[in-house]
Amino acid sequence: MPRMNARVSAVRKNVAKSSEPLAQPGCYSLIIDLKRQKRICVGKLGAALFPKGIYVYTGSAMNGLAARLRRHCRRVKKTHWHIDYLLALPEARIKKIVVYPVAPRQECRQSQRIAALPGATVVVKRFGATDCKFGCASHLTHFPNGAGLRNSTKPDNNLMTVQNANSRIVIYLSAFCGTG
């Protein structure tokens, strides 16, 4: 098994030590930077060309966020979900994780809100949404230069950091991101 780098080790420890809300079910968005264009075979969805840029993947963890987020931060893992294929690439890095409280349809509501931001595009239809019953084109949204996200993912009065400042991944908890 490959040696775990210090950054991943720190992220895993910080996610494990973070406050109680991560032990609860919830929804999350991974902000991912893909450094260069890559062709990826995504399970049954088939091969697709992923342009470089910023991606936002929205998912849910009904058995607790901490374990799911730790899994997403690991490089070596069995590919189970569509996002595993993207995160396995050395060129892909999680830059930020935003965590939302659990609510009915929260995953789809957040995904649709993100997809409506300026500059958002869908690269692979049904990515992370093969079982979606609420009309989501995809739960993975691409921003070619990240411009549409700049003001949407900055912490404000509704968000607080729960990971230490030395980590490159910052987790925010939101009191009511999904409402309104």
Is 180 within the bounds of a domain?
no
Write the pLDDT tens digit of every residue in 37-93: 999 999 999 999 999 999 999 999 988 888 898 888 887 889 989 999 999 999 999
Is 42 within the bounds of a domain?
yes
Is 41 within the bounds of a domain?
yes
Is 161 within the bounds of a domain?
yes
Is 118 within the bounds of a domain?
yes
Beta bridge partners of 171: 97
Write the pLDDT tens digit of every residue in 3-42: 444 444 444 454 444 446 677 888 899 999 999 999 999 9
Question: Taking CA 72 as the corner, what is the angle to CA 71 and CA 75, rounded to the nearest 5 degrees?
Answer: 85
Secondary element (H or E) of residue 31: strand 26-34
Map residue 75 onto helix, strand or coil: coil
Is 1 within the bounds of a domain?
no
What residue numbers bound the domain in which 60 lies?
6-174
Mean pLDDT value of segment 104-112: 88
Is 54 within the bounds of a domain?
yes
**What is the pTM assigned to this prediction?**
0.76
Is 148 within the bounds of a domain?
yes
Query: Residue 161 — pLDDT band, cuts 50, 70, 90?
Result: very low
Distances (CA, A) of 121 to 23, 102, 103, 137, 141: 32, 26, 25, 10, 6
Number of domains comprising the chain? 1
